[in-house]
Each structure stands twice: as C-alpha cells, then as structure tokens.
C-alpha cells in the first residue's frame, strides 16, 4: 500500500505539474503577444522616421567667391516630393519641382558674402506642406591674404603698473583708460605724460571692468562676466545710466553710429548706443581659420584693430564682412629690462589721429608706447 500510494501520488503530482505548465504557457503567450506586436510597430515607426535626405558633409571652409556645391540623395523611394526648396540661413536660394529620386547637386555662389558659419537646408514639399527636410552646415573663410605690419616706437611714456588695462581711448586731446580685476576696476582720465589719473571712478568690488569707448561725448564701459555696462558723461565723468547684454564683455569701440563689442571668441556683436540693442554680428576669419580671443577694440578709419588675447599681435578687421585685413606683430615692444614679472599681456590700443600714431600698453605695464605701424609684406 505504501508503494502504490507513493506511485499514485507521483502520477498526480506530474499531472498537476503538466496542467500548471500548460496554464502558465498560455498566460505567457497571451502576455507576450501584444508586446511583440508593439515592438514590431515601433520598429516600423523608426524605419518610417529615417532620414530622407543624405547630404554630403562639407569638411573644409570655402573661400568667399567660390561656388559651394551641395551633393545629396533622396533615400526613400516610397516618398515622392512635389518640390524641393533650398535655403541658406533660412533664406530661400533655389527650388526644383517634381524632383527625381536620385543623387543630385545644388550650387550656390558665395560671392559677396561674409565670413563665418552658414546652414544649408533642404525642404521637401508634398501637397503644399513640408514633408521632409535635411540640413548641412559649412563655413566661409576670407578670400584675401592679410597684410603684415611691424612697428616703430616714436615716443615712450610712463604707465601706472597698478593699472590692469582693459580699454584705451583718445578723445579731444585727453587719454581715457578702463581697468579690470575685482576690487581694482575703474575708469579714468589719464595724464599720458606721467601715467597718473587726473580723475577716476571706481567700480564696486562685484564688477570686473573691461573695454571702453567714447561715442557722442559719452564714455561706455563694459564688464567681463557681469554682463552689465555703464555710461558716463564727459568731461566730468558722471555716471548717467547702465545697460546689459547677453554675452561676456571684452573690448568695445564704435563704428559710425554702432557700438562693436568682442566677447573673447571670433564674434563681434554690434549694438545701438541708445538702448544697446543687438543689430548684427560678424565672425572674424582670415584666409585659413577663424580668429578668436579678440579682446580690446579700437576703430581706426572705418576698420577695427583688436588685441588678440595672450599674444603680441594686433588684428585688423573689416567690420562689414569679418575678413582679417592685416596683422601687426608687436613682439619685443616691452624690453626685458622693463619687465618686473608683475606685468600681464599686451592690451590697450588708442589711435591719436592728429599724430597718426597708435598708443599701446599692457596690463600692469610700466610704459605706454606711441608707435607707427609699418607695412612689411603679405603673409
């Protein structure tokens, strides 16, 4: 009896196991079926969302004046477009109707354009609406070779070695200077013969002063990362108002009725003097590369000269196009015997039109130099 009972119990247990396996199998298949269908559906959605346009990348910058050729292919034979529209920086530059599904090209002339980054966009229309699109960025470099300048020192004057110079400007026979560093930032009228301040306004410790410029008998001073600037009346140096901007502030000058400001990159932004509203911007390029680290700015005869930060180089820029027109190498202007180890980099350009001379100095430099730029040769 004991053996038969065990045998019957084993059969019963096996039957129960089989039943449970069958039930669980049905439940498993039931639960997996819809998910599998969902997975297939999602995969179909991903396939339907694949890129329709394959645009060949443009790796190297293209010189202004050359044709830019955009090579692309329409990939999905199931999607037929009524027309294609070509745009550069959101401006329509071309269109084709009833496009064939094959590799094709579109050519755009860069003649007369500015330097910098551009965006090419294709929009595929079907029944009057954009059905597909694709984009490709590219850059335009300058089409000219910059002039190369050296320098001749005409005069030398003392400069306050405590002044971390950020801005330098001549106005009606007076030399104005803006300085930086938190707790040491100021704007002042400087006696260029002695390097001493005639009058001065200090910024509060929270501000790190940067460049200055004078427009309509008012002095504009910007700050580095505070993104706030100040306007003073001249000659009494009275604080009139404040303004703000959305980038870092490095250097500033004025071109005709616009204020031009650098932010440490290769961009220069242009603003209205009254409300400091952004009007436009340029990207600075020479014939090879973008030229960044632009610092103190000085407008001279309709062009911009900029200190290139942490170098002894001045960069001459076309404010209309962003092209680099020239480089001035000021290496060695501060002699080794004049260095104390406390000075920082070259910074500060003030053009004195009646003399035709550039007054230049540096952060914590003991001297200011009145120089003449001398054209050497092209680079």
Convert the chain into a string of H (helix), E (strand) and C (coil).
CHHHHHHHHHHHHHHHHHHHHHHHHHHHHHHHHHHHHHHHHHHHHHHHCCCCEEECCCCCCEECCCEEEEEEEECCCCCCCCEEEEEECCEEEEEEECCCCCEEEEEEECCCCCCEEEEEEEEEEECCEEEEEEEEEEEEECCCCCEEEEEEEEEEEECCCCCCEEEEEEECCEEEEEECCCCCCEEEEEECCCCEEEEEEECCCCCCEEEEEEECCEEEEEECCCCEEEEEECCCCEEEEEEECCCCCCCEEEECCEEEEECCCCEEEEECCCCCCEEEEEECECCCCECCCEEEEEEECCEEEEEECCCCEEEEECCCCCEEEEEEECCCCCCHHHCCCCCCCEEEEEEECCCCEEEEEECCCCEEEEEEEEEEEEC
Q: What percent of the chain has pLDDT over 70?
A: 85
Domain boundaries, the chain: 53-141, 147-378
Q: What is the dihedral of CA 165, 166, 167, 168, to 10 degrees?
A: 30
pLDDT at 51: 60
CA distance 120 to 259: 30
CA distance 305 to 375: 15
**pTM of this prediction?**
0.83
CA distance 179 to 162: 9
pLDDT at 343: 86
Q: How confident is the model at residue 378 (pLDDT cuts 50, 70, 90)?
A: low
Give me 370's structure tokens.
Answer: 């009145």
Tell me the per-residue pLDDT of 316-374, one tens digit each, with 9 for 90 and over.
Answer: 999 999 999 999 999 999 999 889 888 899 999 999 999 999 999 999 999 999 999 99
Q: How confident is the model at residue 1 (pLDDT cuts 50, 70, 90)?
A: very low
Reply yes or no on whether the pLDDT at 141 is more than 90.
Answer: yes
Query: Domain 53-141 is of which CATH architecture?
Result: Sandwich (2.60)
pLDDT at 217: 95
Q: How confident is the model at residue 19 (pLDDT cuts 50, 70, 90)?
A: very low
Tell me the per-residue pLDDT of 40-51, one tens digit each, with 9 for 90 and over.
Answer: 344 333 334 456
pLDDT at 214: 98
- Of the CA atoms within 13 Å of residue 47, those in its CB half-sphere come to 8
Give the mean pLDDT of the chain.
87
Taking residues 161-181, what's their average pLDDT? Answer: 97
CATH class of 147-378: mainly beta
Taking residues 136-148, what's their average pLDDT? Answer: 97
CA distance 3 to 8: 9
Q: Find residue 27's DSSP bridge partners.
A: none
pLDDT at 238: 94
pLDDT at 323: 98
pLDDT at 6: 34
Q: What is the dihedral of CA 211, 215, 219, 225, to 10 degrees?
A: -30
pLDDT at 23: 35
Which among 203, 198, 194 is positioned nearest to 164, based on CA atoms? Answer: 203
Give me 366's structure tokens.
Answer: 């003991």
pLDDT at 52: 80
Which among 82, 70, 76, 77 is positioned nearest to 124, based on CA atoms? Answer: 82
Tell me the per-residue pLDDT of 20-61, one tens digit each, with 9 for 90 and over.
Answer: 333 333 333 334 444 434 443 443 333 344 568 889 999 999
Reply yes or no on whether the pLDDT at 101 is more than 90.
Answer: no
Taking residues 273-302, what's their average pLDDT? Answer: 97
Tell me the per-residue pLDDT of 298-313, one tens digit each, with 9 for 90 and over.
Answer: 999 999 999 999 999 9
Q: How confident is the model at residue 104 (pLDDT cuts 50, 70, 90)?
A: confident
Give me 172's structure tokens.
Answer: 């009606």
């Amino acid at each position: 009896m004991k053996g038969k009972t065990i045998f019957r119990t084993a059969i019963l247990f096996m039957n129960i196991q089989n039943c449970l396996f069958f039930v669980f199998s049905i439940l498993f298949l039931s639960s997996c079926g819809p998910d599998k269908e969902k997975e297939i559906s999602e995969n179909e959605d991903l396939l339907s969302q694949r890129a329709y346009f394959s645009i060949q990348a443009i790796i190297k910058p293209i010189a202004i004046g050359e044709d830019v050729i955009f090579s692309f292919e329409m990939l999905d034979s199931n999607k037929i477009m009524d027309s294609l529209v070509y745009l550069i920086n959101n401006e329509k530059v071309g269109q084709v109707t009833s496009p064939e599904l094959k590799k094709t090209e579109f050519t755009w002339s860069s003649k007369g354009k500015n330097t910098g980054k551009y965006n090419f966009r294709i929009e595929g229309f079907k029944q009057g609406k954009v059905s597909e699109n694709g984009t490709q960025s590219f850059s335009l470099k300058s089409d000219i070779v910059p002039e190369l300048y050296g320098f001749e020192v005409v005069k030398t004057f003392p400069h306050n070695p405590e002044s971390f110079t950020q801005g330098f400007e001549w106005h009606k026979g007076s030399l104005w200077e803006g300085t930086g560093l938190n707790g040491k930032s100021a704007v002042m009228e400087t006696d260029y013969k002695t390097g001493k301040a005639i009058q001065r306004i200090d910024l509060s410790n929270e501000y790190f002063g940067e460049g200055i410029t004078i427009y309509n008998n008012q002095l504009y001073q910007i700050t580095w990362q505070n993104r706030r600037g100040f306007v003073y009346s001249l000659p009494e140096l009275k604080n009139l108002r404040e303004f703000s901007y959305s980038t870092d502030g490095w250097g500033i000058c004025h071109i005709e009725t616009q204020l031009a400001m650098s932010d440490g990159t290769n961009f220069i932004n242009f603003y209205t003097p009254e409300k400091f509203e952004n009007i436009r911007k340029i990207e600075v390029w020479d014939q090879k590369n973008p030229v960044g680290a632009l610092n103190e700015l000085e407008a001279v005869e309709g062009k911009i000269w900029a200190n290139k930060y942490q170098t002894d180089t001045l960069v001459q820029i076309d404010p209309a196009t962003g092209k680099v027109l020239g480089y001035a190498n000021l290496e060695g202007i501060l002699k080794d015997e004049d260095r104390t180890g406390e000075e920082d980099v070259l910074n500060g350009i003030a053009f004195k039109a009646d003399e035709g001379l550039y007054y230049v100095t540096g952060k914590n430099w003991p001297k200011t130099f009145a120089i003449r730029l001398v054209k050497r040769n092209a680079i």
